[in-house]
Amino acid sequence: MDQSSMEVLVFVYGTLMQGRSNHHYLSNSQRLGEGIVQDYQLYHLGEYPGMVPSVGCQVKGEVYRINETTLAQLDELEDEGGEYRRVKMPVTMAAVTLEEVYSYVYQLPVDEEWAVPLRQQPWSS
């Protein structure tokens, strides 16, 4: 089985979302719908957002089924291992929780003034 045929799920919450500047990376992927991640806080970082662990907070975004070639492209876009780290986390969609969904967690310091409350999500620039 080649890399392009293996599929994984990814939760996106910023420029990769439908109608946003980097959505073209997901043009060949299946959008499964909207989702929410628990115990993370969303931050506005200028031209893009980042989320960091924060107990009791939530982040709204979208879930996609992608192939591993697309995942590798997203890793490069998100500077995986640098500015962002790709981790598996549970994502709630309607009444279902998907346990093994990748997303990108911001790794640099944030200022609480940059926090985006749930009522102002999903993020927009």
CA distances (Å), 81 to each of 9, 55, 86, 123, in order? 19, 23, 8, 23
Regarding pTM above 0.85, the answer is yes
pLDDT in tens, the chain (125 residues): 445 578 999 999 999 999 999 999 999 999 999 999 999 999 999 999 999 999 999 999 999 999 999 999 999 999 999 999 999 999 999 989 999 999 999 999 999 999 999 999 998 87
In this structure, what DSSP letter does residue 112 have? G
In the chain, domain spans: 3-114
Q: What architecture (CATH level 2) is domain 3-114?
A: Roll (3.10)
**Cα–Cα distance, 4 to 69 (Å, whole number):** 5
**Cα–Cα distance, 119 to 56 (Å, whole number):** 14
Among all residues, which ones are annotated catalytic?
78
**Cα–Cα distance, 97 to 59 (Å, whole number):** 14
